[in-house]
Amino acid sequence: MSSDAAPSAPRLQWSLVVPVKVLARAKTRMSAIAGPHRRDLALAVATDTVAAALRCDRVRHVIVVTDDPLPAAELAALGARIVPDEPDAGLNPALEYGAARGREAAPDAGVGALSADLPALRPDELARVLDAAAAAPHAFVPDAAGVGTTLYTARPGVPFAPAFGHGSRAAHRAGGARELVLDSIDSVRRDVDTPDDLRAVLALGAGPHTASVAARLALAADA
C-alpha cells in the first residue's frame, strides 16, 4: 500500500567525548565507603556510562580520553575509540582534543562532552536530550544538584567550547549555551561523586558493573 507521507528527516548523529581519569586519582570522595574497591568502582561507573552511550542510536562514536591503560582496554572492548589525554593541560583541553578527533572521524556529526559518572544512563533518555540539543548551536544538561554539567554539546561546524569545572552550569549559561530542561531525563543528570550520589543512582537503576561493585561497599556507613 502506497503512502503520501513524507519520510521523517534523519536525526543528527553525535560523537560523544567521555573523559576517564587515571583510576588511582578517581573517586577520592568515595574512599570512606569504597576503600580497596575505589578503583573498581570508578571503572565500573565509566563502563556502564560508555556502554549505555554506545547503545544510543543517536551516537555514532564514543571517544574516551584517558591515559590509564586499564579503562582504555576495557572501554575499547565495548567499541569506544580511545585517545590519550592531550595536551595534558586539564579537563577542558582534553575534551577539546577528543572532540577534534571526533570531528575528523565524522565531520557531519555534532560533538558532545559526556560525564563518565552516569552509571544509570538510559539510551532512550540520552537520545531525547541529543535531539533537543540538535536545535541549538551549543547546549548543556545541568547535573542533579543544579551546579555542574553532565553533557555539553555543539552542532556540526560550531566551535566546541566546554567550560567544565566548579560552577560549570553557570559558566555554560554565561557562554551562551542553551540549558536543556526536559522531563524524565534523570539518568542523564545523576552523576556520582559522593556516597549519597551512589545511593541515588542505585535507586534509579545503575548499570550492572556499578551494581556489582556497589554490593561490596559499606553503603550503610555514614560518609
Q: Could you give the CA distance from residue 1 to residue 151 in angstroms, rounded to a whole number?
A: 43
Domain assignment present for residue 191? The answer is yes
Domain assignment present for residue 89? The answer is yes
pLDDT of residue 155: 98
Which of the residues in the chain have pLDDT under 70? 1-9, 220-223
pLDDT of residue 25: 93
Which is it for strands 110-114 and 149-154: parallel, antiparallel or unpaired?
antiparallel
Q: Where are the alpha helices (DSSP H) in the chain?
A: 31-34, 38-54, 69-78, 91-105, 123-133, 168-174, 186-189, 195-204, 208-214
Domain assignment present for residue 52? The answer is yes
pLDDT of residue 208: 98
Nearby residues of 122 by Cβ (< 8 Å), 6 or more positions away: 52, 187, 188
pLDDT of residue 223: 40
Strands of the sheet with 81-83, listed across from one edge: 81-83, 59-65, 14-19, 110-114, 149-154, 138-142, 178-179
pLDDT of residue 6: 44
Q: Could you give the CA distance from residue 191 to residue 30 in angstroms, rounded to a whole number?
A: 13
Nearest-CA neighbor of 43 among 64, 59, 62? 64
pLDDT of residue 8: 56
DSSP 69-105: HHHHHHHHHHT-EEE---S-S-HHHHHHHHHHHHHHH
What is the CATH number for 117? 3.90.550.10
pLDDT of residue 220: 53
Domain assignment present for residue 37? The answer is yes
Residues making up the annotated binding site are 149, 165, 168
pLDDT of residue 2: 39
Domain assignment present for residue 215? The answer is no
Its domain, for residue 111, covers: 14-209
Residues making up the annotated binding site for phosphoenolpyruvate are 149, 165, 168
Domain assignment present for residue 109? The answer is yes
Domain assignment present for residue 42? The answer is yes
pLDDT of residue 10: 77
